[in-house]
Amino acid sequence: MKPFETMPPPDSRNAAQWRADFPILVERVHGQPLVYLDNGATTQKPAPVIDAETGYYRHQNANVHRGVHLLSVRATDAYEAARARIARFIHARRPEEIVFLRGATEAINLVAQSYVRPRLEHGDEILISAMEHHSNIVPWQFVCEQTGAVLKVVPIDDTGTLDVDEYDRLLSERTRLVAITHLANALGSINPVVHIVGAAHAKGVPVLLDGAQAISHLPVDVGALDCDFYAFSGHKVYGPTGIGALYAKAALLEAMPPWQGGGDMIRSVTFEKTEYNAIPWKFEAGTPNIAGAIALGVALDYVDGIGMEVIAAHEAGLLAYATDALRAMPGVRLIGTARDKASILSFVLDGVHAHDAGTILDRHGVAVRAGHHCAMPVMQRFGVPATVRASLALYNTREDIDALIEGLRSVREVFGQ
């Protein structure tokens, strides 16, 4: 018996029920059953989410906030109900603290340009970590270049764990913002966000948490965390692409100027002066992704119907099972072995480039991500050009992990190992 076969299986009965809600999972790839392990890039969508988006276009299609006719009223009500649904999901104090955007990337850019940039002077500092996605690096490089501020980076150790002592040391009287991922997309590391926020606030420094990965794997309570900003993307939590949200404390949103100009972010316009709308609408210029917002609300209902604690426990069992399975394979090295981690298995195979491994796995119907995962500094930190990343979701099963392992055996055979 292989070591990983001694692990107790996750609740396959529940997983089978959940899988039935996702139409795409019956697809075949190169004649093989689809084994979808690329959830860190995007999750698949359950039927209620798909139905909600198409249902909007079939029965409610109209612009929001502007019309008095029935379809516009229905669309507006559904759109704003989705905002309230998001607020409840992450425990925001009020719906007005939720700004709809295209995703976490746009949310972080909004904070960078509207909140942070006007407050920076030459020599001020922004503090991030060495495990960040490019979306939580490049916007801060922009504002540093624009203002003469300095980007400081908290290191990580060989397991992919944040160096908390160094974080505390780097917090200084020049720090103007801390921006750190909640759950690292290339490593799976879960950061000690309670400590991160508390230590920063003790020095009067606001904190932005990138929740793009965490939102579908961990319960998120922005009130308990006391973070100032929280950004996430809908497509990472079983919702559509092109929709996401920024949570920000109301007082901060009130103090921030609009980032983009156009329709719906105004109260009145003359050629001499424009009066801006109230929050959150002053940050939502133009016609929004109405169908996407409505469908995102349904996605969160779906997740709540299962229970985030149930999902987390299911995924934790799979992660342990898969970790033992990969460790038992000769020539496999895991990248990211933090004690506190979730959902992600990033690894390299001796003598095999990650892209070659991903291509061969695809021929076996196994969809993984191969590359730098928009986290090139992480790859540089571990001295590898790329990794294979298998990332988990609620519909994954032990059989999916077994298919991954079998596919990796084929990869080794192709390369004569």
The span from the first CA to the last CA of the chain, in angstroms, equals 22
CA 319 to chain centroid, in Å, comes to: 18
What gap in Å lies between CA 197 and CA 179, rounded to an integer? 10
Q: What is the C-alpha to C-alpha distance for residues 296 and 300, in angstroms, rounded to an integer?
A: 6
Sign of torsion over alpha carbons 12, 18, 21, 27 = negative
Q: Which residues are catalytic?
A: 374
User: What six digits make up the tokens of 181?
Assistant: 């991922």
CA distances from 350 to 271, 357, 380, 388 (A): 65, 11, 17, 12
Q: Which of 254, 257, 255, 205 is nearest to 226 (CA)?
A: 205
The Cα–Cα gap between 11 and 344 comes to: 19
Q: How far apart are CA 263 and CA 285, in angstroms?
A: 5
Here the tokens at position 232 are: 């996430």
DSSP string, 139-164: HHHHHHHHH--EEEEE-B-TTS-B-H
